[in-house]
Structure 1
Amino acid sequence: MSELKVTEVMSVALTKDTPAAHWGKADVTFAAEGALVHLSGGDELRQIQMAARKLRNQGISNVALSGSLWDLNSQWVFAQGFATAKPGYKIQWCGDAEVQAELQRRIEVATFARQLINETPENLSPVKLAQQAAKWLADIGGAKVSYRIIEGEALLAEQWIGIHAVGRGSERPPAMLELDFNPLAADAPVSVALVGKGITFDSGGYSIKASEGMLGMKCDMGGAATVTAALGLAIKSGLNKRVKLFLCCAENLISGRAYKLGDILTYKNGVTVEVVNTDAEGRLVLADGLQAASATGAPFIIDAATLTGAAVMAVGSNYNAIFSPQVDVLQLAQQKASTVAERVWPLPLDPWHKEMCPSSYADTANSRPVKGGGAGGASNAAGFLWRFVSPEAKWLHVDLAAAFEDSASALWGAGATTHGVLTISELIKG
């Protein structure tokens, strides 16, 4: 970040000393030289992120991290706690040049994702989301990046049934972004395929959300922003493998053209789906993206989506839920998340989860016709998605329970958190 005058900056240091008696049990204290964050053992990264929130809540906007106790992850979690949806805050890093360079890369991609997710939905149509993601990656990857955007009725011509159905109720057309990052030979195999849910606003459709549940639904393209930012970070870090990205972009609105409960969608792979809840739209668009990803022949497919409230209920808003048929994939995701100070937790996914949304009229329904999709809703959603994944590929589904905060918490400012970007970037890099 840009240099600041010393007089404008508060120094923030870490210490393992207990605060002076007159500070009581305070974990953040102040002296002439600046603020001290007192670490008390246990989960110190969590303590640091909470301390950053406290400092930011006091109106402090410009800080310089100082002292020998800061490392890469402690500085990063401080930055995550210090961030807000509104601009006007700055952090000066410390440590060696390599650490500072990595932090700069992280903050650049996190800023991109945060601004995209926090953008008002009026300013971010499905096509514009696809365009902005593609342009940002092309600016990073240069000639190694190629892409096309399929929009509106052209989706039907290519049998991307789910994206078209969910998005047809809006005056602004739905779109799929197909992007190829290839630093190798033209015929190089695809190593990883990424899929992101890009619902730029989710009213719930005819299964309309209550106002308080709809307010934050600009965040429903958080999966698209997350996988885009993750790929951008990997490219900035010197990625030398071929990766394809598919963003499934639509607005889920109500009109005379909107899809309806009872509709049956026939997907490209022949699977028929009865719509029993138009608010379970994310899995309908991801089904197209997962088929496109499978067609690349990539041995590893990762999708990310703000998919279910059930995942939030299961793991809370400080973890992302992960699903995979392969235990080694879950273990790898947990290991990668741990190295970058992010949190993931596996939830059940068994073959019988594919059958947990039965239909009398189609191969499957898109949910269960009960509030919230019923018990095990996050696993049932993952089971639905599994129908559209190549059996030859390893697959990780990330339900982004921790991607957005409706209001500020002890760890996060209100809005996008970007939690999950680093984990997926590490998985891309391998």
Structure 2
Amino acid sequence: MSTCAIYLTTAPKPTYLAKGSLVSLDGNQAYIHLVDATGELTQIQKAARVLDGMGLQHVKLQGDWQIEQQWAFALSFTAAKKPSQIEWLDNKDRAELQHRFQAMQFTRQLINATPEDQSPELLAQACSDWLKTLTPHAVTSNFIVGEDLKTQGWHGIYQVGRGSTRPPVLAVIDFNPSKDPKSPVEACLVGKGITFDSGGYSIKASEGMLSMKCDMGGAATVVGGLGLAILRGLNKRVKVFLCCAENLISGHAYKLGDIITYKNGTTVEIVNTDAEGRLVLADGLMAASETGAPLIIDAATLTGAAHVALGDEYNALFALDKSLQSRVMAYAQQENEGAWCLPLEKFHREKCPSHFADTANSRAQKGGGSGGASNAAGFLSRFVNEDGTGWIHMDLAAAYNANASNMLPAGATAQGFRTIARTLIEG
């Protein structure tokens, strides 16, 4: 396999280059022409898509590249259907880029896996196994599976997943670099791990269901973020709670009108079985809160409303703790990951009323009605401390692209994992 050397250049484009084209070729060398200094990363991403379309598999970055320029190329050149090998510049940035790439590839490949190959137990095991490859002696895991969830009171995950023949799982992964069992947990990560979402009895249309293998993107993203933080030298104890289930239809599936009673006493009427992510995350958030950790981050492909609001480029951030929200927003900007703060106040807890329970899990309107993303976050806020101190919710609107664009390949993006890694390190 031949290697193509990739250079950045501000030299004038060759006369033969088509208008708007960013790439010129000279044998086994390619040149990305940067024509606008204010949009260099976007131009690099577009050029990487062009080069990916040429079938290149092995490229070597040469010349003068900044770290974020190299990373922008990698984000867009690395597609799901083909293996790709990128040789970074041999300088001070190389180790960081290798670490990012390892975490990104793990996250993307996990999200892109077929639902048949990604049962709740297999997802939990894959996440645990990968973290153990990074630091074998500092990671332990425990899986609560199937009927044991019901016995131990994790009713949200149990009810959502009981319709499948493949049992639901609450996976608890403990990264404890001190190996002292009494060491305090300094942060918790909670990830939505719905390995396939049919919508249940509130069944999705085929076009909406086709990409629902990505509904475990929250679980993959928090684990990818922890992995990157470990590779960057994290020395804090972090616990991960992965809320894993298949949301399927069967004679044993949960139904509209059912009421779930959670460990903290909150009762929830099911008015939409397709609003299942918040039901499983509630268990994860309570489990995380039990550790006493001062920081809890949850991540989920939770609402279509966030995607409608922000499109494919931004993840949504929600918090009652506005100081934490501002810090995480700053970390996202420092890591060049699109994020945007959407409203969350305590009154959002009351936006899904029920005649029969403390709250419903949504409203009986298409997409949950107006303010659906904030209302979902308000639901989640019932399962952390009263003021939401130290808790932030990431609605991963930018986690997955059903189709390729001129900037990103089809499939998982992994966007958000760098923000999570920095938040774990910086606090």
Answer yes or no: same fold by TM over 0.5. Answer: yes
Quote the offset at 1:32 in angstroms: 4.3
Q: CA RMSD in A?
A: 1.3
Following the alignment from structure 2 to structure 1, what is the Cα–Cα distance between the partners of residues 132 and 20? Answer: 50
> Among 157, 160, 172, which residue is 1:163 paired with?
157
Corresponding residue number in structure 2 for 1:199:
194
Aligned partners of 1:11 and 1:34 also within 8 Å: yes
Following the alignment from structure 1 to structure 2, what is the Cα–Cα distance between the partners of residues 77 and 95? Answer: 17
For residue 213 of structure 2, what is the amino acid of its counterpart? K
Corresponding residue number in structure 1 for 2:114:
120
Corresponding residue number in structure 2 for 1:130:
124
1:303-340 per-position Cα deviation (integer Å, ceiling 9, x unaligned): 00000111111011111111111222222122211222
Aligned length: 422
Following the alignment from structure 2 to structure 1, what is the Cα–Cα distance between the partners of residues 325 and 24? Answer: 40
1:107-156 per-position Cα deviation (integer Å, ceiling 9, x unaligned): 11111111111111111110111111111112222221111000001001
Following the alignment from structure 2 to structure 1, what is the Cα–Cα distance between the partners of residues 336 and 50? Answer: 20
For residue 37 of structure 2, what is the amino acid of its counterpart? G
Corresponding residue number in structure 1 for 2:23:
28
- The secondary structure found in structure 1 opposite 2:218 is helix
Q: Which runs of 5+ in 2 are unaligned?
A: none
Aligned partners of 1:301 and 1:393 also within 8 Å: no
For residue 227 of structure 1, what is the amino acid of its counterpart? V
> Among 62, 80, 83, which residue is 1:66 paired with?
62
Quote the offset at 1:360 in angstroms: 0.8
Following the alignment from structure 1 to structure 2, what is the Cα–Cα distance between the partners of residues 348 and 21? Answer: 50
Quote the offset at 1:53 in angstroms: 0.9
Quote the offset at 1:35 in angstroms: 1.7
Quote the offset at 1:59 in angstroms: 2.0
For residue 63 of structure 1, what is the amino acid of its counterpart? V
Q: Is structure 2 residue 381 aligned with structure 1 residue 386?
A: yes
> Among 328, 333, 343, which residue is 1:338 paired with?
333
Quote the offset at 1:41 in angstroms: 2.0
Q: Is structure 2 residue 237 aligned with structure 1 residue 242?
A: yes
- The secondary structure found in structure 1 opposite 2:423 is helix
Quote the offset at 1:16 in angstroms: 2.5
1:50-129, aligned counterparts within 5 Å?
Answer: 50-68=46-64, 70-96=65-91, 98-129=92-123
Corresponding residue number in structure 2 for 1:293:
288
Following the alignment from structure 1 to structure 2, what is the Cα–Cα distance between the partners of residues 271 and 279? Answer: 20
State percent identity of aligned pairs: 55
- The secondary structure found in structure 2 opposite 1:42 is helix
Q: Is structure 2 residue 302 aligned with structure 1 residue 302?
A: no
For residue 112 of structure 2, what is the amino acid of its counterpart? N
Aligned partners of 1:294 and 1:393 also within 8 Å: no
Corresponding residue number in structure 1 for 2:253:
258
Quote the offset at 1:29 in angstroms: 2.1
Aligned partners of 1:117 and 1:222 also within 8 Å: yes
Corresponding residue number in structure 1 for 2:422:
426
Following the alignment from structure 1 to structure 2, what is the Cα–Cα distance between the partners of residues 111 and 211? Answer: 28
Aligned partners of 1:77 and 1:341 also within 8 Å: no
Corresponding residue number in structure 2 for 1:283:
278
For residue 156 of structure 1, what is the amino acid of its counterpart? K
For residue 416 of structure 1, what is the amino acid of its counterpart? A
- The secondary structure found in structure 2 opposite 1:256 is coil
For residue 187 of structure 2, what is the amino acid of its counterpart? V
Q: Which runs of 5+ in 1 are unaligned?
A: none
Aligned partners of 1:298 and 1:393 also within 8 Å: no
Corresponding residue number in structure 2 for 1:318:
313
For residue 128 of structure 1, what is the amino acid of its counterpart? L
> Among 8, 16, 19, which residue is 1:14 paired with?
8
Following the alignment from structure 2 to structure 1, what is the Cα–Cα distance between the partners of residues 54 and 305? Answer: 34
**TM-score, normalisation: structure 2:** 0.96
Corresponding residue number in structure 2 for 1:272:
267
- The secondary structure found in structure 2 opposite 1:43 is helix
Q: Is structure 2 residue 139 aligned with structure 1 residue 145?
A: yes
Following the alignment from structure 1 to structure 2, what is the Cα–Cα distance between the partners of residues 54 and 356? Answer: 46
Corresponding residue number in structure 1 for 2:395:
399
Following the alignment from structure 1 to structure 2, what is the Cα–Cα distance between the partners of residues 302 and 336? Answer: 13
